[in-house]
A and B are shown apart, each in its own frame.
Chain A
Amino acid sequence: QKEVEQDPGPLSVPEGAIVSLNCTYSNSAFQYFMWYRQYSRKGPELLMYTYSSGNKEDGRFTAQVDKSSKYISLFIRDSQPSDSATYLCAMSALLLGAQKLVFGQGTRLTINP
């Protein structure tokens, strides 16, 4: 079983729709939860990160963490064509002073005008 599971999609929705992206994980040691966005032929860029369970909002994006269920989500409101990208969840834990970062497989998202 992979430590982090993410549905690879692809996911295609119309402009203006609410998008929900999800990941599950198995390692209780994960402390930080991140969402990276990766445009085609580019490196991943950090979109949001959270530390505790609950919601964190940044503009049209909301990250949600449920540690009891080992489940994280990213919601995109009023989706735009410029949101079309691959979204990777990532989780980290500190092991012997070093950061261990594990990524999900990534979900490819297309927003259709």
Chain B
Amino acid sequence: IAGITQAPTSQILAAGRRMTLRCTQDMRHNAMYWYRQDLGLGLRLIHYSNTAGTTGKGEVPDGYSVSRANTDDFPLTLASAVPSQTSVYFCASRLDGTYNEQFFGPGTRLTVL
């Protein structure tokens, strides 16, 4: 693999169900991010991790949790999905430094009914 992979590509989920979105990068980037993208609102940061073992809250963290057990993986969990979490979710990663480009995955399209 090259870059960032996300799974699943798309998912339809019943409200109240638990769901984990997977993200894996093979670039050995320190920092990883989860965004959601909604029409008219752009990309909003949900959670981030500056390095393995640490995580932080972004702009819209409620209803989501993350873990960073190793450098490569950064799963996002919806403990009990609600319709307002219907969105396109993007994982991104960046090599830590003064400035370095954030690379984005292909996205997961999630619909909560």
Contact = CB atoms under 8 A, between A and B. Distances in A.
Q: Do A and B come from one complex?
A: yes
Given A88-B42, A88-B43, A105-B41, A43 B99 contact: no
B42 A99 contact: no
B31 A41 contact: no
Given A41-B107, A99-B94, A46 B43 contact: no
Contact of A6 (B42, B44, B94, B109): B42
A49 B106 contact: no
A51 B99 contact: yes
Contacts of A98: 31, 48, 50, 56
Interface centre among B94, B103, B104, B105 (most CB of A within 10 A): B104
Interface residues of A, number: 23
A46 B101 contact: yes
B57 to A, nearest CB: 12
A28 to B, nearest CB: 17
A58 to B, nearest CB: 14
A44 B90 contact: yes
B105 A43 contact: yes
A101 B103 CA distance: 12
Interface string B47-88: 010100000100000000000000000000000000000000
A66 interface: no
A16 B44 CA distance: 33
Contact of A8 (B31, B40, B103): B40
Given A98-B50, A99-B31, A43 B90 contact: yes
B111 interface: no
A44 B104 contact: yes
